[in-house]
């Protein structure tokens, strides 16, 4: 129907004189559901109302009636929040936009509180193909406004937050702008970057605008921008270096034809520029540099074997950077180098073997380099696991077994992570010949590293037990590890029994299990994915599986015999089980209690329980993906096991009020507390008047401080009570003496 028809039937009843009009509840509904409608209706109806309210805001502000002014300002912003919905695939943009384009530009310049709304609306209009030609006519008006907003140094946090939406809107608008107009904007931005009068903020903002124009300029302008960025790489300012690398990355990664031709023509110059070793870069800048190298290596059309040798050491070392972006860029670069080497290698297996052999040279370096090399080899082996040769697998595993026994904990940790990657890389049968060597190395970890690495070691032992059985691993383990292995066996057996018990109730249903996520990041994660799979409640696991009902025969009357030799019997085979026809149909939607009263469930409570189930399911999914902590997952799992007995009893009674008094939480010793006075009362019970319950957690060494603090509070209260008692006793003695 559209908002025009709805508001004709149900008027908004807003005249702009009061901020709290009767049907203000309609504004959120319109904001969330309006699309593919008349944009002109917003300008004719809502814009006039918003302008009227805006004038009230200014008038009340001058009169220093701040509360009323704020109410009108909120109502005005709610009305403007409808604009993005009207800009989602509007039906009349070509007819009405020319009349109101200037109004939007003025609001964008003058009202900071509405900028996000208008920017979002412009982006929605630009993304629609049939609107681009019309909006391109106003690029000469809108782009200068957007550039000025981006080039203005923010004075507060709200102004700083608006800069990214402004930049994204600039990028989208530049794509539909006339090339000649883009050229004029580009020349002005380049001048600002080169100008000595420009401040550091203006220079950096101008570099960003040049980067936004990369996909819209020709090869000559790209050459000019490249030379400028090349000179900025030598700048002493770290942020300037970062901006320069970001421009080069944008040029290398752009999909425009001019950028592709430029990179193809200058790929050797780019490679020489980026192959030079640079020191003192921040992790964020290092990540941009590695991204540039990745694009150069991927787009190389010649054999890169001789050129990548200078790149590999930097990529390997960056796998241990603190920055997540830098580590990810380093791993991606190592993979890109491998693919580039295989493109020009006659034998893929020999190419991978040669690449891994080159990486193995890093094991002779410093502790940090050895640790980074281990992770790099693991990533490369995981990526090219189908091209691995048995000889190189044997060499790598033997070296990693030696690294596990290293005195350096950093090296041992990386080697254990490599073992986890190994289970997902090498076939179980091929890995069986190395199990003995792996077990010996795992049980020979340096003494000072055994306790910090015990959880990682246990994960690997658990996987070995799952793959090769308890009996085989037990024979290889020394005596002092047998207790841990026995615990692993018991835990695995318990999980298997729980699985079997839960699966007994689903004999008539067939499940296809969801494919397990086999990403490299999940394998490197500290949490054991297999363990998490087993710990997820069965209720949640079933929700992740696709149910397929087993085939069944069509049911007929009792005396109707099915002839299985009949050629037409397959016509009576159903894929969906028919419902029991003898079951009486439900007469109404309400439950009936034993005394005949209707039981009407509270919809709010029902929705709360449904939301809770969705939240639990989401938490399990997040745990599987590594986006949620184990702690939260365990908390939700524990909550599933608890049964709310009160809610069950109320549902069956059909009375919508609590019939039994709610049990209050009672602290140990609360029964001795006096009702009208301080202290404790014996009440004919045993002494002492309050007890501290036994708790085995009090013996935990890691929780000694917490337990000591608890007992300190007990002692403090006891001393306080003793002092009060002594003073009272002294007063009584003095009173008796006076009498």
Encode pLDDT of 451-485 as tens digits.
999 999 999 999 999 999 999 999 998 999 899 99
Q: Which residue has the tokens 């992570």?
A: 417
607 — pLDDT class (breaks 50, 70, 90): low
Q: Is 669 left (phi over 0), alpha (psi -120 to 50) or beta?
A: left
- Please return the burial class of 173, using the count of CB atoms within 10 Å of its CB with bins 0-12, 13-18 and 19+: buried
Pairing of strands 573-574, 546-549: unpaired
Please state, rounded to an integer, the average pLDDT across all residues of the chain.
79
298 vs 685 pLDDT, higher one: 298
Report, as an integer, the average pLDDT of 142-154.
Answer: 92
Residues with Cβ within 8 Å of 190's Cβ and at least 6 positions away in sequence, in order, are 206, 210, 224, 225, 228
Distance of CA 502 to the CA centre of its chain: 31
628 vs 72 pLDDT, higher one: 72
In sequence order, which ranges of 529-686 are alpha helices (DSSP H)? 529-535, 538-543, 603-625, 630-641, 645-653
pLDDT for residue 707 is more than 90 = no
118 — pLDDT class (breaks 50, 70, 90): very high
Q: Among the listed ranges 325-329, 376-380, 456-460, 636-640, which one has the minimum average pLDDT value?
A: 636-640
For 182-195, write each residue's pLDDT tens digit.
Answer: 999 999 999 999 88
Q: Which residue has the tokens 């990028």?
A: 171
Taking residue 234's Cβ as centre, other Cβ atoms within 10 Å add up to 9
The tokens of 112 are what?
């900071």
The tokens of 282 are what?
């921040």
pLDDT for residue 315 is more than 70 = yes
Determine the straight-line distance between the first and last CA of the chain, rounded to whole angstroms: 95
Rounded to 5 degrees, what are φ and ψ at 12?
Answer: -75, -25
- CA dist 142 and 532 (Å) reads 53
Dihedral sign for Cα atoms in the order 445, 450, 455, 456: negative
For 626-667, write each residue's pLDDT tens digit.
Answer: 344 444 444 433 433 333 444 333 344 444 455 555 555 556
Q: Contact 115/152 with Cβ under 8 angstroms?
A: no
547: helix, strand or coil: strand
pLDDT for residue 337 is more than 50 = yes
The tokens of 515 are what?
């494919």
Q: Which long-range contacts (CB under 8 A, 24 or more apart) does 144-151 make?
A: 145/105, 145/108, 145/109, 146/170, 146/173, 147/185, 147/209, 149/108, 149/115, 150/205, 150/208, 150/209, 151/192, 151/202, 151/205, 151/206, 151/209
Res 700: pLDDT = 80
3-state helix, strand, coil in the chain (%, to 5): 70, 0, 30
Of 273, 386, 267, 397, which Cα lies nearest the Cα of 338?
386
pLDDT for residue 249 is more than 90 = yes
25-39 residues labelled b (16+ CB within 10 A) or e (exposed): ebbeebbeebeebbb
- CA dist 603 and 616 (Å) reads 20
- CA dist 728 and 661 (Å) reads 39
Rounded to 5 degrees, what are φ and ψ at 363?
Answer: -70, -10
Res 526: pLDDT = 47
- CA dist 12 and 20 (Å) reads 11
Res 636: pLDDT = 38
């Amino acid at each position: 129907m559209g908002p025009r028809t709805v508001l004709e039937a149900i008027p908004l009843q807003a005249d702009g004189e009061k901020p709290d009009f009767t049907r203000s509840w309609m504004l959120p509904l319109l904001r969330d559901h309006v699309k593919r409608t008349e944009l002109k209706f917003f300008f004719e109806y809502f814009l006039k109302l918003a302008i009227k309210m805006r004038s009230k805001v200014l008038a009340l502000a001058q009169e220093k009636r701040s509360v009323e002014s704020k109410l009108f300002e909120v109502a005005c912003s709610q009305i403007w929040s409808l604009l993005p919905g009207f800009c989602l695939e509007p039906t009349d943009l070509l007819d009405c936009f020319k009349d109101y384009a200037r109004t939007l530009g003025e609001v964008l310049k003058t009202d900071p509180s509405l900028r996000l709304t208008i920017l979002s609306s412009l982006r929605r209009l630009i993304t629609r193909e049939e609107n681009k030609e019309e909006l391109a006519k106003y690029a000469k008006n809108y782009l200068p406004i957007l550039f000025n907003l981006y080039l203005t140094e923010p004075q507060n946090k709200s102004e700083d937050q608006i800069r990214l939406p402004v930049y994204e809107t600039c990028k989208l608008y530049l794509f539909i702008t006339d090339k000649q107009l883009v050229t004029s904007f580009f020349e002005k931005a380049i001048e600002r970057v080169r100008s000595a009068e420009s401040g550091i903020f203006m220079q950096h903002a101008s570099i960003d605008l040049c980067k936004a124009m990369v996909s819209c300029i020709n090869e000559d302008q790209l050459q000019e921008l490249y030379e400028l960025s090349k000179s900025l790489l030598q700048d002493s300012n770290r942020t300037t270096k970062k901006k320069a690398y970001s421009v080069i990355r944008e040029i290398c990664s752009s999909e425009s034809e001019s950028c592709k031709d430029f990179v193809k023509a200058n790929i050797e110059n780019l490679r020489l520029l980026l192959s030079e070793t640079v020191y003192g870069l921040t992790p964020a800048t290092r990540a941009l540099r590695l991204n540039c190298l990745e694009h150069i290596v991927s787009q190389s059309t010649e054999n890169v074997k001789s050129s990548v040798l200078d790149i590999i050491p930097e990529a390997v070392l960056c796998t241990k950077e603190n920055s997540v972006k830098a580590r990810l860029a380093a791993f991606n670069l190592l993979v890109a180098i491998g693919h580039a080497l295989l493109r020009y290698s006659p034998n893929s297996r020999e190419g991978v073997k040669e690449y891994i052999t080159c990486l193995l040279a890093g094991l002779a370096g410093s502790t940090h380099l050895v640790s980074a090399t281990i992770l790099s080899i693991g990533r490369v082996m995981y990526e090219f696991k189908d091209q691995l040769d048995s000889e190189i697998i044997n060499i790598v595993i033997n070296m990693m077994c030696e690294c596990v026994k290293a005195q350096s904990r950093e090296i041992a940790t990386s080697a254990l992570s490599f073992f986890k990657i190994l289970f997902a890389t090498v076939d179980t049968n091929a890995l069986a010949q190395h199990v003995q060597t792996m077990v010996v190395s795992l049980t020979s970890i340096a003494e000072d590293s055994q306790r910090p690495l015990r959880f990682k070691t246990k994960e690997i032992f658990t996987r070995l037990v799952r793959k090769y059985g308890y009996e085989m691993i037990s024979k290889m383990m020394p005596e002092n590890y047998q207790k841990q292995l026995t615990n692993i066996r018991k835990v695995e057996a318990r999980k298997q029994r729980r699985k079997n018990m839960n699966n007994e109730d689903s004999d008539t249903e067939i499940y296809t299990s969801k494919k397990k996520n086999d990403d490299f990041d999940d394998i490197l994660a500290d949490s054991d994915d297999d363990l998490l799979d087993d710990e997820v409640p069965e209720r949640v696991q079933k929700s992740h599986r696709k149910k397929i009902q087993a085939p069944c025969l069509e049911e007929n009357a009792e005396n109707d015999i099915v002839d299985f030799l009949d050629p037409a019997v397959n016509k009576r085979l159903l894929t969906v089980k028919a419902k029991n026809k003898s079951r009486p149909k439900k007469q109404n939607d309400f439950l009936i209690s034993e005394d005949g009263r209707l039981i009407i469930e509270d919809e709010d409570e029902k929705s709360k329980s449904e939301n809770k189930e969705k939240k639990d399911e989401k938490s399990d999914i997040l745990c599987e993906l590594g986006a949620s902590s184990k702690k939260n997952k365990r908390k939700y799992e524990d909550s599933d096991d608890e049964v709310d007995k009160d809610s069950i009893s109320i549902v069956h009674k059909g009375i919508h009020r609590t019939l039994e008094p709610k049990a209050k939480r009672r602290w140990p010793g609360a029964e001795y507390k006096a009702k009208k006075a301080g202290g404790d009362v014996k009440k004919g019970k045993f002494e002492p008047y309050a007890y501290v319950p036994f708790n085995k957690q009090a013996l935990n060494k890691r929780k000694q401080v917490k337990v000591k603090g608890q007992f300190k509070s007990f002692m403090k209260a006891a001393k306080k009570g003793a002092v009060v008692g002594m003073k009272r006793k002294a007063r009584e003695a003095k009173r008796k003496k006076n009498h």
